[in-house]
Amino acid sequence: MFELLGIPPQVLFGQLLLGLINGSFYAVLSLGLAVIFGLLNIINFTHGAQYMLGAFGAWMLLNYLGVGYWWAVFIVPPIVGVTGIVLERVLIRRLYHLDHLYGLLLTFGLALIIVGFFRQFFGVSGLPYPPPPLLTGGHNLGFMYLPNSRAWVIVASLVVCLATWFIIEKTRLGAYLRAATENPTMVGAFGINVPLLVTLTYGFGVALAGFAGVLAAPIYAVNPNMGADLIIVVFAVVVIGGMGSILGSILTGFGLGLIEGLTRVFYPEGSAVVIFVIMALVLLVKPAGLFGRSV
């Protein structure tokens, strides 16, 4: 039996798999951010709060209406998306012609307000969300015990990431979107409703955050601060992948999940900072990110 730096291979495989699972959350969240930044040029700091809204949405459906997890997976993301559309229509829209910083400040402020509101009503300890029967239990893979809930996270997020990538890069709608970011005036001249396209894109990006939130509900405590803890890491992922790059954010999301997982084995104390160390290194070598186009 070989050992790598004193770590038996079973442990290593287990940690790699866990890294992939965490990477799934990074990927879905950074994908939403990348879509929004790529098409709207808005740095959406509300993303963490919208992820939290997804988890709370699932919790509210279950506790107030008795609607279970599997319905929530389909119902909650569109609802969270609609709240995003309202924000975009009422507030964010007014900042498109201004510097990035204004959008950043607005969305950051909104995030603080939303999180503060939930903290006031629900406290910070979080709320229990029992996993549905299908997701309880798990399988012994030989090298580790894989809970069904985690396996589902990998599958669901891979499907969503690939579908998003496909829509944006390979379909006609995606072509409109990409064209609208390059030159909105020209695309508008062809009779395409660019403002509507932009609003829907923001709604979609936010719905992705809501989706990640629903995925997180049975695994992590449903808690107003859950997004704030994650969003900083996700921003680092987006920066490493290259702002606005769809494929870049998916690949870096999973990749950094793996690296973080390995750090947790070899030097657990450093696992909170490893992503930022990588971010600093990447910015030194490739300021536009690994997959970003330099402007």
Q: Give whichever of 22 and 30 is closer to other proteins, judged by the CB atom.
A: 22
Crossing angle of the two packed helices 9-40 and 148-170, in degrees rounded to 10:
40
Spacing of C-alpha 6 from chain mean position: 34
Q: According to CB under 8 A, which residues from 256 to 295 bind other proteins? A: 261, 264-265, 268-269, 271-273
Q: ∠234-39-240 over CA atoms, to 5°?
A: 30
Rounded CA separation 17/38 (Å): 30
Q: Which DSSP string do the residues of 106-160 spell out, in sequence order?
A: HHHHHHHHHHHHHHHHH-SS-B--PPPGGGSSEEE-SS-EEEHHHHHHHHHHHHH
Q: Give whichever of 180 and 230 is closer to other proteins, judged by the CB atom.
A: 230
Which amino acid is present at 238? V
Judged by CB under 8 A, does residue 113 bind other proteins?
no
Minimum CB distance to other proteins, residue 249 (Å): 20
Judged by CB under 8 A, does residue 225 bind other proteins?
yes
Compute CA distances 22 → 34, 112, 205, 222, 286, whole Å: 18, 25, 19, 17, 25
Stretch that binds other proteins, among 142-150, 157-165, 192-200, 246-254 (CB under 8 A): 142-150
Judged by CB under 8 A, does residue 236 bind other proteins?
no
Minimum CB distance to other proteins, residue 16 (Å): 10
Minimum CB distance to other proteins, residue 12 (Å): 11
Judged by CB under 8 A, does residue 23 bind other proteins?
no
Judged by CB under 8 A, does residue 14 bind other proteins?
yes
Contacting positions for other proteins (CB under 8 A): 8, 10-11, 14-15, 18-19, 21-22, 119, 123-128, 130-131, 138, 144-145, 147, 149-150, 219-221, 223, 225-226, 229-230, 261, 264-265, 268-269, 271-273
